[in-house]
């Protein structure tokens, strides 16, 4: 099976591929475009546009946490992994990973400070999208493909966390299931050059 990386672009350019996002689904990544770099989120969706709308609505509402980019960019890749593990263990991480103050949200939905921080973080992300190709045997799009997407999402999340030494609850994605089948994965497509090496190295999964 191939992950065909069709597009990788900054958030400000997502409107240029809106038709693609509305008509396609598969696997998507949030990639931080500056040091310490790396994959910040892995997800799957039947329709990319629908899922992105949900993500961005959750950020605007304060339901999602985002990063303070000034603090984030002081870290090495190892320091970033350590901060994620600390956060997943209940350490708030100071100003690195922050949550809007509930008391603030009870007074206003449009605080300029929180809005600017979220916007600055999103502006530094690269969003990459892959469709699932060369699936053998062919699957029914409506009944079998959703399960395959969830399994491939889980393969990427679980393998990346293992390879980077990240805790199970590190916030780069939460698989809904553990893959039950074995997979051989190739990475291709015109945007594959934008996909971090740590993702392209994930090429197989052996079922237990």
**pLDDT tens track for 17-55:** 999 999 999 999 999 988 788 899 999 999 999 999 999
Residue appearing with tokens 């809005």: 115
Residue 117 clears pLDDT 90, i.e. is over it: no
In terms of average pLDDT, the best of 59-68, 84-93, 102-111, 195-204 is 195-204
- Mode of pairing for the β-strands spanning 186-188 and 2-10: parallel
Using a 10 angstrom Cβ sphere, with 0-12 exposed, 13-18 middle and 19 or more buried, the burial of residue 193 is exposed
pLDDT tier at 141, thresholds 50, 70, 90: low
The structural domains of the chain, with segments of one domain joined by +, span 2-205
Q: What are the structure tokens assigned to 174, written together?
A: 């939460």
Q: Higher-confidence residue: 81 or 116? A: 81
How confident is the model at residue 118, as a pLDDT?
A: 83
Smallest CA-to-CA distance from 101 within 62, 44, 69, 131 is with: 62
DSSP-assigned states of every residue in 119-175: HHHHHTEEEEEEEEES-SS---TTTTHHHHHHHHHHHHHHHHHHHHT--TT-SS---
The set of residues, in sequence order, having a beta carbon less than 8 Å from that of 169 and lying 6+ positions away, is 88, 89
Residue 130 clears pLDDT 80, i.e. is over it: yes
How confident is the model at residue 3, as a pLDDT?
A: 97
Mean pLDDT of 98-120: 67
How confident is the model at residue 66, as a pLDDT?
A: 85
What residues does 9 pair with on adjacent strands?
127
Q: How far is CA 41 from CA 15, 154, 177, in A?
A: 20, 12, 17
How confident is the model at residue 142, as a pLDDT?
A: 65
**pLDDT tens track for 87-102:** 776 665 556 766 665 5
Of all residues in the chain, the percent with pLDDT exceeding 90 is 46
């Amino acid at each position: 099976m191939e992950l065909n990386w069709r597009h990788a672009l900054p958030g400000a350019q997502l409107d240029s591929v809106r038709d693609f996002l509305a008509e396609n689904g598969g696997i998507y990544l949030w990639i931080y475009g500056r040091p310490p770099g790396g994959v910040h989120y892995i997800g799957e969706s039947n329709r990319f546009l629908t899922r992105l709308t949900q993500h961005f609505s959750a950020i605007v509402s304060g339901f999602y946490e985002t990063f303070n980019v000034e603090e984030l960019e002081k870290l090495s890749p190892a320091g970033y992994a350590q901060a994620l593990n600390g956060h997943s263990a209940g350490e708030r991480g100071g100003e690195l990973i922050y949550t809007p103050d509930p008391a603030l949200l009870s007074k206003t939905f449009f605080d300029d400070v929180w809005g600017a921080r979220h916007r600055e973080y999103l502006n530094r992300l690269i969003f990459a999208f892959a469709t699932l190709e060369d699936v053998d045997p062919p699957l029914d799009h409506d009944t079998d493909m959703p399960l395959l997407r969830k399994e491939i999402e889980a393969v990427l999340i679980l393998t990346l966390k293992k390879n980077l030494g990240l805790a199970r609850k590190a916030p780069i994605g939460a698989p809904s299931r553990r893959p039950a089948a074995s997979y051989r994965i190739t990475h291709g497509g015109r945007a594959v050059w934008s996909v971090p090496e740590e993702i392209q190295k994930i090429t197989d999964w052996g079922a237990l």
